[in-house]
Chain A
Amino acid sequence: MNGPSAHRRAHQQMRRAFTPVLVAVSLVASLAGCSAGATASGSGSASGFKPGVLTKKYSGTTLEVGLPNYQGMPKSTLAEFTKATGIKLHMQNPSYDVIHDKIVTAGAANTAFADVVYLDPAWIGQVGAAGWFEPLEKWVPSSTIKNDLGQSLFAYKGQTIGLPWNLDFRGTLWNMTLLKKAGINKPPTSYDELITTAEKLKSKGVVKYPVAEPLSITEGAATPWYALVRASGNAVLKNGKPAFQAGGAGAKALDLIRTLFSKQLIDPGSVNLTDQQVGQAFGNGDSAVMLSGGPAGLGYYAQPSNSKISSDQVTFTTLPTPDGSPSAGSVGLEDGMGIPKASTHKEAAALFVNWYLQEHQLNAAYAAAGLLPPNAAALKTLVSQGKLAGGQPLVDAAMGIKPIFEGGSPTWYSKFSSNVASMVQSVAVGSKSSGQGVAGLVSQVNALNAQQ
């Protein structure tokens, strides 16, 4: 019976060989569990923390800050924070879409990809319902929240989970130097005037495709339509219900885009272009009108390193309306920041958020990257010093900011946004009429509500 006994020995040898491995695996697994637990629980304690007081109490902490690649706070200004608090900053600056996916991945795993994280108002419905962000009332002085313009867009169920650091909203950017070459001295205010202006620019050979408008099925194609609807006086959604169709606002905006596209006043290649790409075309002087742009464009295109039109006169106005009446409101697209509940450095993160939103820092960001300060006092200072491109009219337009979604962004926002972008492209290329597009979107919204 040598065979079986040798077999048993072999098995015993294997068991001996495997035992340390199994122990190691168990250890790794349990350590992973411990580590996940630690990350998930975070410090969570605000004991002894005084909101808004710059202190060296958290000196030596390395704070992860995840803001998009266009955040423009100069390094020298950021260094002032480190000097005042001893908190080191590790800036992560991925693109907008990447940040979104990082938030979702980290949130689903009950961790945080950074201690201070970028937030878009459109995400508030989803991330608010998921409960991933700290109510900032606990961490930031009430004066900072009160002074921050547009903070209501970051409120979820009465709690502020994000605060704006860039007062972005939608208006129209006009390259007046090119418009004047076509004999136009004043930006149009109605849809018909806009079409006539674009036709003149094209027929006089000033630019081949006068209007810059993204039409790829991305968020960038949906935003101009939101902005046109909002300027006509309608919210896009009201408490989750369709509001864009009232008075034909949604259909009229689609008809405008369809007309501009069919007359080749918009580059046909826009069906493949994102908002960043059409922005580049505007900066290259390939188009004269950016139908839906942000005020930061004024400062951005004025810099020779960013554009070929730095010496041109670029003007920012509210969007045209169907009949030329004054815009009923600008779509607010503020960039915000929040503190994830899973952050392990909430106190340091809160110090940073509060510090970032003070006038001195916001003005530094404006000077460096043209990001409009979401702070009335900072805007007033810039206007009085003559440093604000666009001046008081820009501030007035900023005061007319209204949310795209009255009553808060729905949890199904992402699906809705894709549906809008798809509808805009379909109508623009003539696959659908504007009526069909609007009716289809109403049905989709009703279906999304019914699924809830």
Chain B
Amino acid sequence: MTDSERMQLSRREGVRSRWSLRAREVTSAYVLVTPALIIIALLIFFPAVQSTIDSFRQGDLTNPTAHNFIGLRNYLNALLDPSFLQAVRNTGVYIVVAVVVALLLGLLMAMWMQSLGGRARVIALTLIILPWAVPGTVAGNLWSFILNPTGSGLLNGVLESLGVIDQPQIWIASPLWGQVFIALSFCWGLVPLGAIIFLAGLESIPEDFYAQSYVDGATALQRFTSITLPLLRPALAIVLVNAAVSAIGIYDQVYVLAGFDPNKISLIGQTYLYAFRDFNFGLGYAASILTTVATTLIAAVFLKVVYREEQM
């Protein structure tokens, strides 16, 4: 065997052993992820597929023998139901308030925390993150105390003492203010996470950019619009999508503060009523699929808009 033949053989052996190694790696990877895949398939994929199939069936529990395919009728019934449309409008308000408040307040808090020194920042971070850790029902109850229409209500007490109102207001019963305060109670837990994401984004912007802008004589506003904001886009996208997607799923605060008030009920609340109160699982499935589709679309649109701007 010549040297060149030996080298060729050795190269072939090398390739074979690399393939063998690769196959072993692939196999082990599949084996390792299989338990997780099975759990996901059983707990998420299977119910999701089954729910989607059942959303095309008649699912009225009070008429158990009727389980035939009815095409898109459940979807049409949901989309034509004034209660569902009202829930869509209500949820729309929650999304708008959540997105605006999470962006503005989150960014302001992040910038304030960035300006703090080491220990002060740690303390501020710890305090700010607390509301995020509070469950929605607890937050709802806290806000119920703040909005209490009697003299013991915090908001009425403060506004009365400042002379803004002359008698206690029933905030939560008002169609507009009720929705705004429910959204704010939700934002109370949402803003801290946004602030932390923004803070991480701010920290990742190189100091050199700001140093150069000082040399060029840029104003604070110019620095913010030309450096901070463009470089914060990834963080902005995450906060935006998180706020919108979380707001679509709002339920706890609405239930605690307003029960099943049609003027406040969210999409998730309406879906619950369809399935568990009206015994119409078909309609409930359709409503939940519509909510999922809306969530995906909103997230996709936000991400596309933010990232497309980044690429330009």
Contact = CB atoms under 8 A, between A and B. Distances in A.
A266 to B, nearest CB: 11
A412 B278 CA distance: 6
B273 A415 contact: yes
Given A129-B63, A414-B278, A2 B173 contact: no
Contact of B273 (A129, A271, A418): A418
Interface string A256-275: 00000000000111011000
A191 to B, nearest CB: 23
B133 to A, nearest CB: 24
Contacts of B273: 414-415, 418
B292 interface: no
Contacts of A411: 62, 279
B233 to A, nearest CB: 40
Given A104-B275, A414-B278, A6 B16 contact: yes
B95 interface: no
Interface stretch (B104-112, B148-156, B194-202, B241-249): B148-156
Contacts of B41: 25
Interface in A3-55: 3, 6-7, 9-10, 13-14, 17-18, 21, 24-25, 28
A108 B50 CA distance: 14
Interface stretch (A85-93, A180-188, A244-252, A421-429): A421-429
A2 B19 contact: yes
A131 B279 CA distance: 12
A218 interface: yes
Contact of A10 (B23, B144, B149, B170): B23
Contacts of B2: none
B61 A108 contact: yes
B21 to A, nearest CB: 10
A1 B152 CA distance: 83
Interface centre among B22, B172, B173, B273 (most CB of A within 10 A): B173
Contacts of B261: 217, 422, 425
A101 interface: yes
Interface centre among B30, B152, B259 (most CB of A within 10 A): B259
A28 B39 CA distance: 12
Nearest to A451: B77
A284 B261 CA distance: 28
A429 B170 contact: yes
A107 interface: yes
A84 B73 CA distance: 55
Interface string B139-150: 000001001111
Contact of A100 (B12, B20, B258, B276): B276
A268 B30 contact: no
Contacts of A28: 42
Contact of B34 (A21, A107, A125, A268): A21
Nearest to B149: A268
Contact of B173 (A101, A218, A412, A429): A429
B277 interface: yes
B40 interface: no
B172 A272 contact: yes
B26 interface: yes
Given A217-B258, A411-B62, A10 B26 contact: yes
A232 interface: no
Contacts of A268: 149-150, 168, 170
B277 A271 contact: no
Contacts of A104: 61, 275-276, 279
B38 interface: yes
Contacts of B259: 216-218, 421
A13 B25 CA distance: 11
Nearest to A274: B259
Given A2-B15, A107-B61, A271 B23 contact: no
A126 interface: yes
A209 B148 CA distance: 15
B173 A425 contact: yes
A429 B174 CA distance: 9
Contacts of B15: 2-3
Interface in A430-444: 431
Interface of A: 2-3, 6-7, 9-10, 13-14, 17-18, 21, 24-25, 28, 100-101, 104-105, 107-108, 125-126, 129-131, 216-218, 267-269, 271-272, 411-412, 414-415, 418, 421-422, 425, 429, 431
